[in-house]
Each structure stands twice: as structure tokens, then as C-alpha cells.
């Protein structure tokens, strides 16, 4: 069986030889990967084990030594000393749990299943429906794919419902407001295309930015449940990214402002994770519905990401 987590790799490796044939970025230090799959699995497993060792007995106080990848964006010093329940810290934890689940999914093991159950229980008891960050949802959906344990699916769905409340529906954009936010009139369209499908980054009722992060969770849930609700959400999210959040080079951008008084202003900053997480979401969705629009967008973004990164 081709697992969702493997799909991006498989697509790069097999489905798109014309893209692979392109020259990789000169910034890549060692573009040829010579380590065998077994060696790479050992390396990844050792890295995860090392990080897990940094967990305190109560994982909600996990200090995210693994989150160095985020340090270009967040000040790591202040992140490590931050209130452990803050969104940024929870986001790192969710990403890390996702890596644990993904490792088991790819290697067909259950090494982290028990630990993850505990971590998710703690996170959920601290915040109903994992309401600090959507990264828990993706991690839980991957854990469900790996272990087929309904508890993880329930967690993923709870996280989705939380994120749903911060995602623009047709009713929201028609009304120009969303109930979870206290913002002046929202844009109905930008670039002459609907804002439906955009997800707010932050829960703070006055924070105005919509970001490109939600296709993957909806697509993973669509795959796990065959529920049209999730599939529809994944498609809306794809359309939103397609309409508003990539540049002429097909690199995925950081955010677009939702309220009218920002005149559809886009935040053009480029962080590789936006493109990466979009590739993941689109590849899961493309495998589910195989429509040309999703497929084309995926190919364009992949083709852009390889030389650009
Ligand atoms: C990072 O945060 C620490 C503590 O809040 C502060 O002392 C330091 O100046 C910050 N560094 C940068 C580069 O902003
Ligand atoms: C940490 O953040 C939570 C949620 O925002 C808040 O309720 C709590 O008071 C904060 N704790 C400290 C020590 O700042
Ligand atoms: C929490 O998730 C459940 C689904 O498991 C959903 O029915 C409920 O509306 C959600 N509540 C919030 C506040 O997100
Ligand atoms: C919404 O914003 C208005 C004006 O800024 C403020 O008076 C009101 O208290 C806010 N309401 C909520 C629920 O945050
Ligand atoms: C905007 O979209 C509408 C309907 O989708 C279309 O009829 C109209 O021509 C478009 N306007 C521009 C300026 O592209
Ligand atoms: C839009 O309005 C909000 C609330 O009145 C304000 O805080 C914000 O600065 C405004 N933004 C722009 C770009 O005018
Ligand atoms: C997707 O559709 C194309 C043609 O529409 C077909 O060639 C291809 O095999 C399909 N792929 C999958 C995974 O169904």
C-alpha cells in the first residue's frame, strides 16, 4: 500500500522524471543522496530517540530542541523559555509528534505508538480539541494512518473541527465576517477569486492573516473516512492556495490579509515549510481525486521548489 506520507517522495521519484531532470539548486551542499534507505532510517530513528529523551515526564513542558528548523522564524532563545502552552511551542510539539508517527508509518513499526497516545492525552486535556495549534491534527491523522487506532482518528477530527471554526466558509465570506474573529468586513474576493477555504493563522480575534497550512489535514481525514465534508474542505483549501498564495515562480507564500481595509495585501515572505506542507497536502489530495487542477498545481509547485530551495 502507498501510504500518504510516502506519496510526496514517490511522486518526486517516479511520477515526475521531467522535473527531477532539472538542475537542483546550487545551494544544495550534497545533492546526491548516497546513504542507503536502511542507513537513512537508522539516522532518523536515532534523531527521534534523542529528541524524545529531551521530553520531561510531563510532555507539555517539552523544550523543543528539535525545533531548530523553526529558528529562522522564531527566536529560539525566547521560544525555549516561552510559556509552554503558547501556540508556537505547541506547534513545535505537534510537528515533532507528526515526525514520530511518520517514521513508524514509513518503517511499518509501532515504536512510538504508546508514547504518542500519552502525549496526545496530555495535550488534549490541556486544551479541548487541541485548540492551541493545528499541527496536532496532522500528527494525529498520521498516527491513525500508522496504527489504525480510532483514538488518533478522533483526535485528528477534533483538531479539524477546531481549525474549521477559523476557516472561511461561503456563508462567512458572504456575510463579511466569521464568528470566531472580531474583524471589520472581510474580503469576499481577492484577485477576483473567492476567499473561501482560507484558514486564519491565529486564534486571537483581531489577528487578520490567512495562511496556506490546512489542505493536508482535510485530505488525510478524507482518505481515512471517505467523508465528503473533509474532501470538500481539502478542495476549498487547494483552491484558496491556488488563487491567493503562490507567486509567479509557484513558490507558496506566507499569508494574505482577510479584512477589506488591507486591500488583499499578500505577505510575500518565503519560508520553505509553506511550500513543503502544501506539497504534502496536494499530493494526498491528488491521490484521492486525481483531478487535473490539483495535479497541475502540485507539479508546478514541485518543479519550482526543487531548484529554488
Ligand atoms: C532572542 O530572545 C532573547 C530573549 O528573549 C533576547 O535576549 C535576544 O536578544 C533575542 N535575539 C534576537 C536575535 O532577537
Ligand atoms: C501561559 O499561557 C496560558 C494560555 O495563554 C495562560 O493561561 C497562563 O496564565 C500562562 N502562564 C504563564 C506562567 O504565563
Ligand atoms: C470539538 O470536536 C468535536 C468533534 O470531535 C466537534 O463536534 C466540536 O464542535 C468541537 N468543538 C470545538 C469548540 O471545536
Ligand atoms: C470587538 O472589537 C470591538 C472594537 O474594537 C470591541 O469594542 C469589542 O469588545 C470586541 N469584541 C470582542 C468579542 O472581542
Ligand atoms: C471576475 O469573475 C467574474 C465571475 O467569476 C467574471 O465574470 C468577471 O469577468 C471577472 N472579472 C475580472 C476583472 O476578471
Ligand atoms: C485595518 O483596520 C484595523 C482595525 O480598525 C486596524 O487595526 C488596521 O491597522 C487596519 N489596517 C490597515 C492596513 O489599514
Ligand atoms: C490519474 O488520471 C490520469 C488520467 O486522467 C491517469 O492516467 C492516471 O493513471 C490516474 N492516476 C491515478 C493514481 O489514478
Would you say 134 and 214 are in contact if contact means Cβ atoms under 8 Å apart?
Answer: yes
Across-strand partners of 193? Answer: 190
Strand order in the sheet with 209-211: 199-200, 209-211, 255-257, 266-267
Which ligand has its closest atom nearest to the C-alpha of 179? 4
Higher local confidence (pLDDT), 128 or 244? 244
Which residue owns the Cα nearest ligand 4 atom 2? 182
Residue 89 has pLDDT above 90, yes or no: no
| pLDDT at site 72 | 45
Q: Which of 164, 191, 220 is the C-terminal boundary of a domain?
A: 164
The structural domain count of the chain equals 2
63, 79, 113, 118 from 58: Cα distances, Å: 11, 18, 17, 10
Output the average pLDDT for the chain. 83
Residues 126 and 197 in one domain: no
Q: Which of 112, 143, 164 is the C-terminal boundary of a domain?
A: 164
Residues 253 and 119 in one domain: no
96, 222, 265, 304 from 103: Cα distances, Å: 11, 21, 38, 27
| pLDDT at site 131 | 79
For 5-15, write each residue's pLDDT tens digit: 333 433 333 33
Residues 149 and 9 in one domain: yes
59: closest CA among 146, 104, 120? 120
Higher local confidence (pLDDT), 133 or 298? 298
Residues 138 and 2 in one domain: yes
Please compute the mean of the pLDDT values over residues 45-65 and round it to a whole number: 64
Which residue owns the Cα nearest ligand 2 atom 3? 85
Domain span including residue 300: 165-309
Higher local confidence (pLDDT), 52 or 88? 52
Atom of ligand 3 nearest to the CA of 160: 2
Please compute the mean of the pLDDT values over residues 276-284 and round it to a whole number: 93
| Percent share of the chain, pLDDT over 70 | 78
Ligand 4 center–CA 158 separation, angstroms: 27
Which residue owns the Cα nearest ligand 4 atom 4? 182
Q: Which of 121, 149, 164 is the C-terminal boundary of a domain?
A: 164
Residues 236 and 177 in one domain: yes
For 131-171, write each residue's pLDDT tens digit: 777 788 999 999 999 999 999 999 999 999 999 999 999 99
- Residue 20 makes CB contacts below 8 A (sequence gap 6+) with 12, 13, 306
CB of 76 closer than 6 angstroms to any ligand 3 atom: no
Residue 300 has pLDDT above 50, yes or no: yes
For 179-188, write each residue's pLDDT tens digit: 999 998 999 9
CATH of the domain at 243: 1.50.10.20
Residues 43 and 124 in one domain: yes
Ligand 3 center–CA 162 separation, angstroms: 6
Ligand 7 center–CA 304 separation, angstroms: 22
Ligand 1 center–CA 79 separation, angstroms: 9
Most informative mutation of 60, 61, 82, 83 for ligand 2 (most atoms within 8 A of CB): 83
Confidence label for 19 from pLDDT (cuts 50, 70 and 90): very low
Confidence label for 16 from pLDDT (cuts 50, 70 and 90): very low
Residues 173 and 285 in one domain: yes
Residue 197 has pLDDT above 70, yes or no: yes
CB of 53 closer than 6 angstroms to any ligand 1 atom: no
Residues 149 and 262 in one domain: no
Would you say 215 and 234 are in contact if contact means Cβ atoms under 8 Å apart?
Answer: yes
| pLDDT at site 63 | 46
Q: How far apart are CA 210 and CA 226, in angstroms?
A: 27
Higher local confidence (pLDDT), 214 or 308? 214
Which residue owns the Cα nearest ligand 6 atom 10? 261
Residues 135 and 280 in one domain: no
Residues 20 and 169 in one domain: no
The bridge status of strand 193-194 relative to strand 255-257 is: unpaired
Lowest mean pLDDT across 57-61, 90-94, 191-195, 277-281: 57-61
Q: For residue 56, give the C-alpha cell.
A: 520531561
Ligand 2 center–CA 127 separation, angstroms: 12
Residues 169 and 292 in one domain: yes
Confidence label for 240 from pLDDT (cuts 50, 70 and 90): very high
Please compute the mean of the pLDDT values over residues 11-35 and round it to a whole number: 59
Q: How far apart are CA 46 and CA 238, in angstroms?
A: 35
Residues 170 and 274 in one domain: yes
Residue 298 has pLDDT above 80, yes or no: yes
Pocket of ligand 2 (CB under 6 A): 83, 85
* pTM of structure: 0.79
CB of 182 closer than 6 angstroms to any ligand 4 atom: yes
Amino acid at each position: 500500500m502507498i501510504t500518504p506520507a510516502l506519496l510526496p517522495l514517490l511522486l518526486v521519484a517516479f511520477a515526475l522524471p521531467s522535473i527531477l531532470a532539472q538542475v537542483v539548486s546550487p545551494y544544495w551542499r550534497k545533492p546526491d543522496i548516497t546513504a542507503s534507505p536502511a542507513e537513512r532510517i537508522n539516522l532518523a530513528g536515532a534523531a527521534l530517540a534523542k529528541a524524545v529523551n529531551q521530553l520531561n515526564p510531563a510532555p507539555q513542558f517539552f523544550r523543543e530542541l528539535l525545533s531548530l528548523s523553526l529558528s529562522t522564524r522564531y527566536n529560539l532563545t525566547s521560544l525555549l523559555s516561552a510559556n509552554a502552552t503558547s501556540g508556537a511551542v505547541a506547534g513545535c510539539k505537534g510537528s515533532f509528534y507528526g515526525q514520530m508517527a511518520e517514521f513508524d508509518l514509513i518503517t511499518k513499526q509501532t515504536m512510538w505508538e504508546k508514547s504518542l497516545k500519552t502525549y496526545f492525552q496530555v495535550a488534549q486535556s490541556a486544551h479541548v480539541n487541541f485548540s492551541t495549534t493545528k499541527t496536532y491534527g496532522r500528527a494525529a491523522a498520521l498516527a491513525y494512518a500508522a496504527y489504525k487506532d480510532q483514538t488518533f482518528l478522533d483526535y485528528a477530527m477534533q483538531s479539524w473541527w477546531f481549525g474549521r471554526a477559523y476557516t472561511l466558509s461561503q456563508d462567512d465570506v458572504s456575510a463579511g465576517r466569521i464568528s470566531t474573529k472580531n474583524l471589520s468586513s472581510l474580503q469576499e474576493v481577492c484577485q477576483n477569486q473567492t476567499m473561501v477555504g482560507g484558514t486564519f493563522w491565529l486564534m486571537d480575534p483581531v489577528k487578520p492573516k490567512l495562511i496556506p497550512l490546512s489542505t493536508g489535514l482535510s485530505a488525510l481525514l478524507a482518505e481515512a473516512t471517505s467523508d465528503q465534508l473533509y474532501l470538500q474542505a481539502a478542495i476549498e483549501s487547494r483552491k484558496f492556495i491556488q488563487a491567493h498564495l503562490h507567486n509567479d515562480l509557484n513558490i507558496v507564500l506566507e499569508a494574505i490579509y482577510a479584512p477589506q481595509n488591507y486591500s488583499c495585501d499578500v505577505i510575500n515572505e518565503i519560508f520553505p515549510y509553506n511550500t513543503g506542507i502544501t506539497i504534502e497536502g496536494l499530493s494526498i489530495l491528488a491521490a484521492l481525486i486525481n483531478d487535473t487542477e490539483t495535479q497541475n498545481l502540485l507539479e508546478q509547485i514541485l518543479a519550482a521548489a526543487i531548484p529554488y530551495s
